[in-house]
Amino acid sequence: MSFSASVLTLYPEMFPGALGLSLAGRALVSGTWSLEAIQIRDFASDRHRTVDDTPAGGGAGMVMRADVLASAIDHASPEGDPRPRLLMSPRGKPLTQARVRELAAGPGVVIVCGRFEGVDQRVIDARVLEEVSVGDFILSGGEPAALVLLDAVVRLLPGVMGNAVSGDEESFENGVLEHPHYTRPQEFEGRQIPEVLTSGNHKNIAAWRRRESERLTRERRPDLLAAQPLVK
Ligand code: SAH
């Protein structure tokens, strides 16, 4: 059974977008995963196909209507659909590699992309949407966030990455950032590849990489080390 993604959006033309190329694109063609982009506007009931309205209580911008979005969700994900329902949202839980792994191990995802000021809270509650953020900044819509999430998930699906080992050593997989990389030429603008890496001594290479990885994590992301269990 392949991983199935349904994306609810006002801009279905944004999909598969970047996911139609490279590894994800090939996996899409080969059927490792499938993607359906659903136009939310098709579920509007009035003549003007209205999907948003002014915020209750006043203020700037528009809010996506609960009723229209609920109809779209019920169409994409009828009762009994085992896939988690996500809402891309800056107020959500920040996406982590651990959550990405969980999603990749599951049957797929239903993703709601917000626009304007966001969506009416009642549809979030009534359809039990899990709010997911891709970072502490504001995008103009949930679509780029959905592409980011799907890219991270799809590369983990069986057979998508050529060299399966590279997935486990990546930044965040072991709670640390990855060590720096080097390749030919041996000298670049007077800078050499660190000697240990060309020594052929695999034990020393592994030790160097571990040290560099810890150093970078300490310098750049001490929060990751603080989250580590004490004994490993
Ligand atoms: N008024 C909202 C921001 C709305 S941005 C607020 O201040 O919280 C419009 C839409 O873009 C959101 O509904 C959401 O779907 C998407 N979006 C914006 N930033 C995002 C982020 N960091 N992560 C995930 N989705 C985001």
Kindly state the average pLDDT of the residues 65-81: 97
Q: Is 63 in the pocket of ligand 1 (CB under 6 A)?
A: no
Amino acid type, 69: L
pLDDT averaged over every residue in the chain = 95
What does pTM read for this prediction? 0.95
Q: Are 49 and 41 in contact (CB under 8 A)?
A: yes
Q: What percent of the chain clears pLDDT 70, i.e. is strictly above it? A: 97
Q: Is 55 in the pocket of ligand 1 (CB under 6 A)?
A: no
Show the domains of the chain with their CATH numbers: 3-154 (3.40.1280.10), 169-232 (1.10.1270.20)
Confidence of residue 150 (pLDDT cuts 50, 70, 90): very high
How much is the pLDDT for 231? Answer: 55
Q: How far apart are CA 77 and CA 213, in angstroms?
A: 42
DSSP codes joined into one string, 196-231: GGGS--HHHHHHHHHHHHHHHHHHH-HHHHHTS-S-
How much is the pLDDT for 6? Answer: 99
- Rg over alpha carbons for the chain, rounded to the nearest Å, is 22
Q: Look at ligand 1, atom 26, and give the residue with the nearest C-alpha.
A: 89
